[in-house]
Structure 1
Amino acid sequence: MLNWGLPAKGLRVLCLGAHSDDIEIGAGGTLLRLIAAGQVHSICWVVFAGNDQRAGEAHASAAHFLAGAPDAKVVVHRYRDGLLPQELEPIKADFERLKSFSPDLILTHYRHDLHQDHRLVSDLTWNTFRNHLIWEYEIPKFDGDLGNPACFVALSAAHLARKVELLLTSFPSQASKHWFDAETFRALPRLRGMQAGGDSPYAEAFYVRKLLL
């Protein structure tokens, strides 16, 4: 196993999510760990779909997850949930404007996610950022589209507990969904922690298509 770490400080992280809870579900623990370790210099957090309620949840959740980050910017667009592919041209323009942030690490959706909004965000990430480190996060869902990732970020029990707590308190609009509960949000990190084989029983997993050492 190759153990390769991110720089100890100064990271500029771009977080991209189709919906208001995507970044938190897929990479929330990783962000909590990076910020707590002082590795992050600045974060740009972008959500593309959402109505007024979901936008409010997105801002409130991001504020909690990004607490302690030296510099954080949160942008929540109002494109229609489930119809991002129909909004391709303006969304592509939004991506082009993100180039000026010059990220060191980009967190985005998994390329083979079966949700059409997720796939579009992933495709535009790669279309826009050609020479950047991109980690594709995963989101458990009814579709059963999980793959076999090769990049793992170990999470402490405390970081996982904080991630689960924030997810359950930040998104009341999702509380009625049968899968939106603590068991789901603990199950996948436990399986990925087992798969990673590290010292921690928990991990978030990412798909990395290209890595230049």
Structure 2
Amino acid sequence: MIRLDLLGGRERLSLLCIGAHSDDIEIGAGGLILTLMRVGVPVDVHWCVLSAQGVRGEEARASAADFLAGAASHHVDCGAFQDSLFPSQSPAIKSWLIDVRSRFSPDVVLVHGRDDAHQDHRELAALAWNLFRDQAILEYEIPKWDGDLGRPNIYAAMEAAVMGRKIELLVRHFGSQRSKDWFDPETFRGLARLRGMECRAPERFAEAFVARKLRII
């Protein structure tokens, strides 16, 4: 397994995290984010959840505060777009993201996968590729009953302690999701173990991403 350093000798990293719903970023990239908070390089984070009203908005803000506790700076934006109808709201969502772009210029964008079966996720992925053309975009994966997990080509290894912390925070913050039969520690740990096996992670766990275009030099 060839290793490329995301930080690449940077003295500072700016990270834009985009999720459709209040638990998406944490499920797809929580381990990577927690790891970045530990490495000693200052990380500036802009955290965007586009459908986060009421209880879901409270969950999103509380969870972001814990996941980003080690950030050099962070800002959380919660939108009020209607769940499951993102394609029909695409012009308004694009304008919302353009406003984010005017206020924050990231080095790396974390967003849903372009081939995700959920229509809200796909819409955000398409818009991210349209709006952030000078950034490295990493598409994260969300396990669900659709069975749409793909073939990732980028891995972020996690220490076992980080895996445990990710699960702890997911269970703590997202009470609105606990009734779903897939939302449990075994799902998150099982997927991370599989991805860890695929990339030979030193402590067995990893998250996986799709990088469609990267410039390495």
How far does the alpha carbon of each residue in 1:121-172 deviate from its partner, in whole angstroms, 9 at most, with x for none? 0000001011210100000000000001010000000000000000001011
User: Helix, strand or coil: the match of 1:75?
Assistant: strand
TM-fit CA distance, 1:200: 2.4
User: Helix, strand or coil: the match of 1:179?
Assistant: coil
What is the match of residue 47 of structure 2? 45
Question: Tell me, which stretches of 5 or more residues in structure 1 are unaligned?
Answer: none
User: 1:4 is matched by which residue type in structure 2?
Assistant: L
Within the candidate set 132, 136, 143, 2:135 is matched to: 132
Please list, as runs of the form range in 1=range in 2, the aligned pairs for 1:13-162 lying within 5 A after superposition: 13-100=15-102, 101-162=104-165
What is the match of residue 180 of structure 1? 183
TM-fit CA distance, 1:89: 1.2
How far does the alpha carbon of each residue in 1:175-202 deviate from its partner, in whole angstroms, 9 at most, with x for none? 1111111101101000000001232200
- Percent identity reads 50
- Partners of 1:98 and 1:3 lie apart in 2 by 31
User: 1:80 is matched by which residue type in structure 2?
Assistant: Q
User: Helix, strand or coil: the match of 2:188?
Assistant: helix
User: Helix, strand or coil: the match of 1:62?
Assistant: helix
TM-score normalized by structure 1?
A: 0.97
CA contact (8 A) 2:158 2:201 kept: no
TM-score normalized by structure 2?
A: 0.96
User: 1:44 is matched by which residue type in structure 2?
Assistant: H
Runs of at least 4 residues off by over 2 Å: 38-41
Question: Tell me, which stretches of 5 or more residues in structure 2 are unaligned?
Answer: none
How far does the alpha carbon of each residue in 1:36-78 deviate from its partner, in whole angstroms, 9 at most, with x for none? 1123431000000123110110000000100011100000101
What is the match of residue 10 of structure 1? 12
Number of paired residues? 213
CA contact (8 A) 1:108 1:121 kept: yes
User: Helix, strand or coil: the match of 1:36?
Assistant: coil
CA contact (8 A) 2:86 2:120 kept: yes
- Partners of 1:41 and 1:158 lie apart in 2 by 20
RMSD over aligned Cα atoms:
1.0
